Amino acid sequence: MNTFGHILRLTTFGESHGPALGGVIDGFPAGVAVDMDFVRAELARRRPGQSALTTPRREADSVEILSGVFEGRTTGCPIGFIVRNENQHSADYDNLRDVFRPSHADYTYQARYGLRDHRGGGRSSARETVARCVGGALAKLALRPLGISVAAYTSQVGPIALSPDYRRYDLTLTETNPVRCPDPEAAEAMARLIADVKSRGDTVGGVVTGLIRGCPPGLGAPVFAKLHADLGAAMLSINAAKGFEYGAGFAGAEKCGSELNDEFYTGTDGRIHTRTNHSGGIQGGISNGEDVYFRVAFKPVATLLRNQATVDAAGRPATVHARGRHDPCVLPRAVPIVEAMAALTVLDHVLLARTVRI
Amino acid sequence: MNTFGHILRLTTFGESHGPALGGVIDGFPAGVAVDMDFVRAELARRRPGQSALTTPRREADSVEILSGVFEGRTTGCPIGFIVRNENQHSADYDNLRDVFRPSHADYTYQARYGLRDHRGGGRSSARETVARCVGGALAKLALRPLGISVAAYTSQVGPIALSPDYRRYDLTLTETNPVRCPDPEAAEAMARLIADVKSRGDTVGGVVTGLIRGCPPGLGAPVFAKLHADLGAAMLSINAAKGFEYGAGFAGAEKCGSELNDEFYTGTDGRIHTRTNHSGGIQGGISNGEDVYFRVAFKPVATLLRNQATVDAAGRPATVHARGRHDPCVLPRAVPIVEAMAALTVLDHVLLARTVRI
Amino acid sequence: MNTFGHILRLTTFGESHGPALGGVIDGFPAGVAVDMDFVRAELARRRPGQSALTTPRREADSVEILSGVFEGRTTGCPIGFIVRNENQHSADYDNLRDVFRPSHADYTYQARYGLRDHRGGGRSSARETVARCVGGALAKLALRPLGISVAAYTSQVGPIALSPDYRRYDLTLTETNPVRCPDPEAAEAMARLIADVKSRGDTVGGVVTGLIRGCPPGLGAPVFAKLHADLGAAMLSINAAKGFEYGAGFAGAEKCGSELNDEFYTGTDGRIHTRTNHSGGIQGGISNGEDVYFRVAFKPVATLLRNQATVDAAGRPATVHARGRHDPCVLPRAVPIVEAMAALTVLDHVLLARTVRI
Amino acid sequence: MNTFGHILRLTTFGESHGPALGGVIDGFPAGVAVDMDFVRAELARRRPGQSALTTPRREADSVEILSGVFEGRTTGCPIGFIVRNENQHSADYDNLRDVFRPSHADYTYQARYGLRDHRGGGRSSARETVARCVGGALAKLALRPLGISVAAYTSQVGPIALSPDYRRYDLTLTETNPVRCPDPEAAEAMARLIADVKSRGDTVGGVVTGLIRGCPPGLGAPVFAKLHADLGAAMLSINAAKGFEYGAGFAGAEKCGSELNDEFYTGTDGRIHTRTNHSGGIQGGISNGEDVYFRVAFKPVATLLRNQATVDAAGRPATVHARGRHDPCVLPRAVPIVEAMAALTVLDHVLLARTVRI
């Protein structure tokens, strides 16, 4: 239940207020050069405290690789790693031991397990995603020599939304602003909205758009392991995700086949392409060589810095007022996590595709 | 790659123009009474040729259970079953042997496997879902004594959409019209739209809304096997699915936390409930006892009864014009498939939940 | 629980007295030519009624491939197949409905599932292995162009045992006698022993030796998926198997390292070999290019054609006296099953090895 | 490939000369009290340097639990843990960088991965089993309240062997001598043999007998997940294991059914028992409530403190002479590992059995 992937498998563990989080990456190919500076840079993108838009909680997020790498290259053996928890304010959560925060996992954990680590959300803390970012960074390193790259950006915050056409934006601008939105003007408006929401002790949702370029034709599988089904499961497993669509997505549901079908032609490169890409680079669950793009909806963070009515563990009325340090908007930090999960999914399917013909 | 589920595992096989399709359901609990009339009725709902809105292709869809049932009850051993293919018009597909239909899986299969069964879409035919409906029917039978029920309905066809609030509709009306829409008026408009689109040799997309009632608190898992991630993977594995959202979904991305959080209270039944249900019955990936609801977007069927430009296997320009018998709109027949996949997912998690405490 | 393999996965279903048994082979590589005469010949080797040494029960064992093969080649899609049950004498088992046969699975099934199909052993019938032989035959076809071959033979019946050194025997003689023993003299003695045991309504155990030739170096995995651990699990899953050893096996436990270590040298073929092969072709769980050999112990068949004391479902004393048609010795028919499971295991690891480097 | 188990899943990572080894236990039931003194005591049993019979290498083997335990109880979330490597003498292995030690995994790793961590055997070091002992200790804690216990002992060293009947021995004596043999006299002879072998720079093999008591009827599965197949896979995955047998095992292959069948009777406890237990407590792959017992053969350690001929990475003749600190006999330290793997296997099947009926 804590493992993702078919052949390339990431298993994560850890709670936000325990000694450490970490993971094991099994099935990672041997011989990949491990650029630890890149891994650390990827982790830094996820780290809180990067700007006024995110939680002021500071986490060093210093990853220690414990195995599976020898003299700078992966060995094919499992890559175990940990990230120590530091700078915890567990006492911030003492008042939450016996009360269920609205729209959090407190009540459902209690219902499932009969007990829970109430500090910082325990296992349901978004801090778990630090392990995904380590896995994703390594996956990106393995994909790079294959010419496959992954990118994501904030395409909506509250009602402020970019065009669904990712080709309109220069994605090299994504990291130039704290919102991680490639449209500088929209980024500013989003930043203002987040600041405004935060000042009211409130939070706001949004959408991340993901993009996989250089995907060769033939990745995916016909039925349950469709490339988009695996991508969807990957994205929906991220904290606060509420929806996933790829290609034309929900908007395509309104359309006719004559509007949405992607005509094939042979390009000047001698390869088969489609003139449009409503398919989102995936047909019948298998990549067709065009860009794979998708969108992930995130709800507003459930932790509000204001009074909320709820019940305690005995079912009696109670009030919660969060004290910890929290993100007013999950979007900026969700971007690297979306990339990480996409990279893991694609690398898994690259490896699977090696087994299709003998 | 052709197996779905953690403990309850459905493996499907079969192409639309081979001798038969079928499946194996492993991990199905022992002692469940098998009502074959119910199973057959569920299959009949998926069957083509039910109305003018669906393909005139007639399939008897007669299921034969080969194992795992003894004297009317499941034995706990794998349930193997087959559905023979009949009334195939394989010659309808002769002209497609060396040409790639736009927005179909023809090209991607060829790219992945180096060869393909071109008849009727082969493995990517929607006919594969007959095996899911058998599995889903059996899962519903196991869930029924637990008070868990699953329902789905067509909530959008092209631009004609119901309110997102499923509580406004009387779902007992779903089966009273061929569109499977619980709003009779909208159903008629949808039917007219489908007929119109069909008359132009075109197709149209839409949305199915799914609903799980009676789900006890505690189903799901904290990280990768979140109940909504497994539901999402299930739905996205259905042919033509382009998106999945649960609870507030994409619309929730526009909102603030103060609008979207679900306040807890203790009901007159002595149990903890939420006043609103933007969470869609799932918090932190685990059910909270409220209704689980979700939406699945389907693109228009890719097969058009009109000329389309494309390329052949050698990359040369070609034209396709479908001859087979095809659905102008997948929605009505998608409804029972969405239900089947939801039932399988929930029963799987019911069984998983049994292993959480010793 | 009814699936074997990591990437190449065989799922089996069916009871001996239901309508049919069968299986689904998922992950089978595309493009393999399917020689149905070979598949049928392999099934014929497993079939009962081949000689006076085996059960007179006649099973046509006619396999029907339902999917995954198109124009004589595998498509990469799941291969579903069934074998109809015929010539059943279910009434032979009426007296066993409420009684537990000694050393059979009757009592344990009842304990696990609360109910069982008592006819012919239900799911625990050796007839289940027909599905493994289909899978194994196809795996052999995929391995053949890679130069990998699998062989097995009866090396012991009761106290009559061949030398543990398989190189002393001409394995092309294995199929020349009904015992499937490559030593014609020993084969005759074994046949006499089986006939003698049968005449007393008794049964006898034995050992099958298995051999995999042409295994390239590098198949297997370091820890849980060691090649010999997967082979062991495969063999121990065969009905009546009681033990597994590879290379020096239990005899090696008596030895010193100086006696058992396999010295490396470079052969005239320019490749690295070992002078001895106590390792059984596997070192650290990974093949080293030498012959892989192993032995599987089988207990005597539990069904005796004589009175045995036991209890009924209520725990009251009872007597059983088998009436059905049964094998006095499982060994001759176990040989093709051992081969089948070995072929599946090796092909699975061949595919896995493709994913190790990028 | 580095994960063991169906529902209860142990994933291990780490090499002997990297920073740390560790593991993740997923699917562990919630609410189990974690007695860390017991866990540490179990680890101490595996630790080298316990007596003159084992390697003088000293490992603190101090385990750090990083997650999944809160206020002394398991939470149902994955239990991550690490054991730091200390007191490494990596320089001892410098001469092995480019040479393949006979009967080690050096050559096969190189063949599989194209590179390897040559220090201390890397991933194939027996040190990996420290993670299994942590998992096994926790599994024992979960099994204890269910009345299920696991024991193992050295039953053979070289040619010195105990009776196969475990009931002849007082297993409380197992830990009273460094060989872990419950027969004090045999233990002394074994100790002398090991000392003698060691003095010659040689090593010696042996057998461990395992025993599971209190196993309720109904654990296991009919086909591939037979209890003994899973136990066999577990045991064969232990370093240096060469064979596995349960119940009558290989000796049973010589017998007749009339000698080996286990007659049922109803005991004074009102429960069904067998008068003999040649079945080893497992019938048709499912436990019958009697003692489960089995034997695991271990080859002599491959590392000899004497010259051995071999080849280097280029295939040229070379000589190895081990310098590190090594066990002359793996048996005493294999005992707790056998117990650990048995405990994990049984707990996994206890959890699986919860899913069989609804």
Residue A224 has pLDDT above 90, yes or no: yes
Q: Establish how many alpha carbons lie within 13 A of residue A280's alpha carbon, considering only the half-sphere containing its beta carbon.
A: 27
Interface of C with A (CB under 8 A): 7, 27, 29-32, 76-77, 142, 145-146, 222, 350-352, 354-358
Q: State the pLDDT at residue A65.
A: 98
Question: Taking a C-beta distance cutoff of 8 angstroms, is the pair B323, B44 a contact?
Answer: no
Q: Which two tokens stand for residue D141?
A: 């804690």
Residue D135 has pLDDT above 90, yes or no: yes
Give the mean model confidence (pLDDT) for residues A27-52: 91
User: Tens of pLDDT along A103-157?
Assistant: 999 999 999 999 988 887 889 998 999 999 999 999 999 999 999 999 999 999 9
Residue C37 contacts by C-beta under 8 Å, 6 or more apart in sequence? Answer: none
Q: How confident is the model at residue A249 (pLDDT cuts 50, 70, 90)?
A: very high
A237: Cα separation from own chain's centroid? 8
Largest Cα span, chain D: 70
Q: Which of A191-205, B219-233, B323-337, C124-138 has the lowest mean pLDDT?
A: B323-337
Give contacts of B78 with chain C, Cβ < 8 Å. Answer: 2, 11-14, 123
Residue B87 has pLDDT above 80, yes or no: no
Summary mean pLDDT of chain B:
94
Give the mean model confidence (pLDDT) for residues D257-264: 96
CB within 8 Å: A242 and B247: yes
Q: Report the candidate in D181, D182, D180, D204 with the shortest Cα–Cα distance to residue D193.
A: D204
Residue B55 has pLDDT above 80, yes or no: no
CA–CA distance, B43 with D218 (Å, rounded to integer): 35
Residue of C236, C259, C287 to mutate, interface with D, max D Cβ within 10 Å: C236
Residue D268 has pLDDT above 90, yes or no: yes
Q: Which two tokens stand for residue B75?
A: 């034995």
Residue D139 has pLDDT above 90, yes or no: yes
Sheet holding B292-298, edge to edge: A160-161, A149-157, A206-213, A292-298, A241-246, B241-246, B292-298, B206-213, B149-157, B160-161
CB within 8 Å: A67 and D19: yes
Give the mean model confidence (pLDDT) for residues D152-164: 98
CB within 8 Å: D358 and B146: yes
CB within 8 Å: C26 and B11: yes
Q: State the pLDDT at residue C217.
A: 98
Q: State the pLDDT at residue B91.
A: 73
Q: State the pLDDT at residue A267.
A: 95
CB within 8 Å: C102 and D225: no
Amino acid at C149: S
For residue B84, the chain C residue with the least C-alpha distance is C66
CB within 8 Å: C358 and A350: yes
Show the DSSP H helices in B118-245 as ranges: 129-143, 184-199, 227-236
Q: Report the candidate in A141, A184, A107, A130 with the shortest Cα–Cα distance to residue A28.
A: A141
Question: Which one of C77, C351, C352 has the shortest CB-CB distance to A222?
Answer: C77
Residue B246 contacts by C-beta under 8 Å, 6 or more apart in sequence? Answer: A242, A243, B228, B231, B232, B280, B282, B292, B293, B294, B295
Q: State the pLDDT at residue B138.
A: 98
User: Tens of pLDDT along A9-30?
Assistant: 999 999 999 999 999 999 999 9
Give the mean model confidence (pLDDT) for residues C256-276: 96
Q: Between helices C227-236 and D227-236, what is the axis angle to 10°? A: 160
Q: State the pLDDT at residue A50.
A: 74
Question: Which one of B4, B244, B259 has the shortest CB-CB distance to A232?
Answer: B244
Give the mean model confidence (pLDDT) for residues B308-312: 94
Give contacts of C265 with chain D, Cβ < 8 Å. Answer: 309, 311, 317
Residue A201 has pLDDT above 70, yes or no: yes
Q: Based on DSSP, count helices (H) and strands (E) in chain C, helices before strands.
A: 8, 18
Q: State the pLDDT at residue C48.
A: 77
Cite the beta strand spans of D226-348 per DSSP E. 241-246, 264-266, 272-274, 282-283, 286-287, 292-298, 308-311, 317-320
Residue D107 contacts by C-beta under 8 Å, 6 or more apart in sequence? Answer: C217, C264, C272, C283, C288, D100
Q: State the pLDDT at residue C216.
A: 97
CA–CA distance, B219 with B229 (Å, rounded to integer): 12
Give contacts of A222 with chain C, Cβ < 8 Å. Answer: 77
Q: Report the candidate in B194, B184, B153 with the shortest Cα–Cα distance to residue B300.
A: B194
B237: Cα separation from own chain's centroid? 8
Sheet holding A3-4, edge to edge: A3-4, A9-13, A20-26, A79-84, A63-65
Residue of B98, B196, B256 to mutate, interface with A, max A Cβ within 10 Å: B256
Question: Taking a C-beta distance cutoff of 8 angstroms, is the pair A324, A303 a contact?
Answer: yes
Q: In terms of residues, how long is chain A?
A: 358
Give contacts of A3 with chain D, Cβ < 8 Å. Answer: 3, 9, 11, 26
Give the mean model confidence (pLDDT) for residues C236-250: 98
CA–CA distance, C208 with C185 (Å, rounded to integer): 17
User: Tens of pLDDT along B262-286?
Assistant: 999 999 999 999 999 999 999 999 9
Percentage above 70 pLDDT, chain B: 96
For residue A73, the chain C residue with the least C-alpha distance is C357
Residue D262 has pLDDT above 80, yes or no: yes
Q: State the pLDDT at residue A81.
A: 98
Q: State the pLDDT at residue D47.
A: 85
CA–CA distance, A22 with A130 (Å, rounded to integer): 8
Cite the beta strand spans of B217-331 per DSSP E. 241-246, 264-266, 272-274, 282-283, 286-287, 292-298, 308-311, 317-320
Q: How confident is the model at residue C224 (pLDDT cuts 50, 70, 90)?
A: very high
Show the DSSP H helices in A47-183 as ranges: 106-113, 129-143
Residue of B34, B62, B75 to mutate, interface with C, max C Cβ within 10 Å: B75
Binding partners of A (≥3 Cβ pairs within 8 A): B, C, D
CB within 8 Å: A26 and D15: no
CB within 8 Å: C258 and D105: no
Binding partners of C (≥3 Cβ pairs within 8 A): A, B, D
The helix or strand, by DSSP H or E, that contains position A296, with its residue range, turns out to be: strand A292-298
Largest Cα span, chain B: 70
Q: How confident is the model at residue A216 (pLDDT cuts 50, 70, 90)?
A: very high
Summary mean pLDDT of chain A:
94
pLDDT: which is higher, B56 or B201: B201
pLDDT: which is higher, B312 or B56: B312
Q: State the pLDDT at residue A60.
A: 65
User: Tens of pLDDT along C177-218?
Assistant: 999 999 999 999 999 999 999 999 999 999 999 999 999 999
Summary mean pLDDT of chain C:
94
CB within 8 Å: A77 and C142: no
Give contacts of C352 with chain D, Cβ < 8 Å. Answer: 1
Which ipTM did the prediction report?
0.97
Show the DSSP H helices in chain A as ranges: 36-46, 106-113, 129-143, 184-199, 227-236, 249-252, 257-260, 331-353
Shortest distance between the Cα of B29 and any Cα of chain D, in A, equals 5
User: Tens of pLDDT along D35-58?
Assistant: 999 999 999 999 877 776 766 666
Question: Taking a C-beta distance cutoff of 8 angstroms, is the pair D152, D338 a contact?
Answer: yes
CB within 8 Å: C70 and B115: yes
Question: Taking a C-beta distance cutoff of 8 angstroms, is the pair B73, B34 a contact?
Answer: yes
Residue of A7, A8, A77, A118 to mutate, interface with D, max D Cβ within 10 Å: A77
Domain that holds residue C242: 3-357
User: Tens of pLDDT along B98-152?
Assistant: 899 999 999 999 999 999 888 878 899 989 999 999 999 999 999 999 999 999 9
Give the mean model confidence (pLDDT) for residues A328-356: 97
Interface of B with D (CB under 8 A): 7, 27, 29-32, 76-77, 142, 145-146, 222, 350-352, 354-358
Residue B56 has pLDDT above 80, yes or no: no
Question: Taking a C-beta distance cutoff of 8 angstroms, is the pair C331, C180 a contact?
Answer: yes
Pairing of strands B3-4, A272-274: unpaired
Residue C254 contacts by C-beta under 8 Å, 6 or more apart in sequence? Answer: D156, D158, D159, D205
Question: Which one of C114, C266, C271 has the shortest CB-CB distance to D357?
Answer: C114
Q: How confident is the model at residue D122 (pLDDT cuts 50, 70, 90)?
A: confident
CB within 8 Å: B80 and C22: yes
Q: State the pLDDT at residue B165.
A: 97
What radius of gyration, in Å, describes the C-alpha atoms of chain D? Answer: 21
Buried b (16+ CB within 10 A) or exposed e, B227-247: bbbbbbbbbbbbbbbbbbbbb
CB within 8 Å: C146 and A358: yes
Residue D192 has pLDDT above 90, yes or no: yes
Amino acid at D33: A
CA–CA distance, C325 with C120 (Å, rounded to integer): 10
Q: How confident is the model at residue C156 (pLDDT cuts 50, 70, 90)?
A: very high
* DSSP 8-state assignment for residue D287: E
CA–CA distance, D253 with C207 (Å, rounded to integer): 6
Question: Taking a C-beta distance cutoff of 8 angstroms, is the pair A211, A150 a contact?
Answer: yes
Q: Report the candidate in D39, D68, D65 with the shortest Cα–Cα distance to residue A2.
A: D68
User: Over A56-78, what HEC string results?
Assistant: CCCCCCCEEECCCEECCEECCCC
CB within 8 Å: A31 and D80: no
Shortest distance between the Cα of C27 and any Cα of chain B, in A, equals 7
Cite the beta strand spans of chain D per DSSP E. 3-4, 9-13, 20-26, 63-65, 69-70, 73-74, 79-84, 149-157, 160-161, 206-213, 241-246, 264-266, 272-274, 282-283, 286-287, 292-298, 308-311, 317-320
Q: Indicate the pTM of the whole model.
A: 0.97
Beta partners for residue C152, in sequence order? C210
Q: Which of A270-279, B195-204, D186-195, D315-324 has the lowest mean pLDDT?
A: D315-324
Give the mean model confidence (pLDDT) for residues A69-93: 89
Q: State the pLDDT at residue D322.
A: 81
Q: Report the candidate in D211, D353, D232 with the shortest Cα–Cα distance to residue D286.
A: D353
A297: Cα separation from own chain's centroid? 11
Q: Which two tokens stand for residue D222?
A: 């009919």
Taking CA atoms, B13 is separated from B125, B188, C4, C11, D177, in Å, by 11, 36, 16, 11, 57
Shortest distance between the Cα of B22 and any Cα of chain A, in A, equals 13
Q: State the pLDDT at residue D60.
A: 66
Residue A56 has pLDDT above 90, yes or no: no
Q: State the pLDDT at residue C120.
A: 79
CA–CA distance, C174 with D231 (Å, rounded to integer): 31
CB within 8 Å: A279 and B103: yes
Residue C49 contacts by C-beta under 8 Å, 6 or more apart in sequence? Answer: C55, C56, C57, C58, C59
Question: Taking a C-beta distance cutoff of 8 angstroms, is the pair A207, A268 a contact?
Answer: no
Residue of A66, A74, A127 to mutate, interface with D, max D Cβ within 10 Å: A66
For residue B117, the chain C residue with the least C-alpha distance is C70
Q: State the pLDDT at residue B60.
A: 66
pLDDT: which is higher, D34 or A121: D34
Q: Which two tokens stand for residue B39?
A: 């199973």
Overall number of domains in chain C: 1
Give contacts of D355 with chain B, Cβ < 8 Å. Answer: 7, 27, 29, 351-352, 354-355
Residue D12: CATH number of its domain: 3.60.150.10
Residue A59 has pLDDT above 70, yes or no: no
Residue A334 contacts by C-beta under 8 Å, 6 or more apart in sequence? Answer: A154, A208, A238, A240, A296, A298
Residue of D256, D293, D294, D344 to mutate, interface with C, max C Cβ within 10 Å: D256
Q: State the pLDDT at residue A221.
A: 95
Amino acid at A41: A
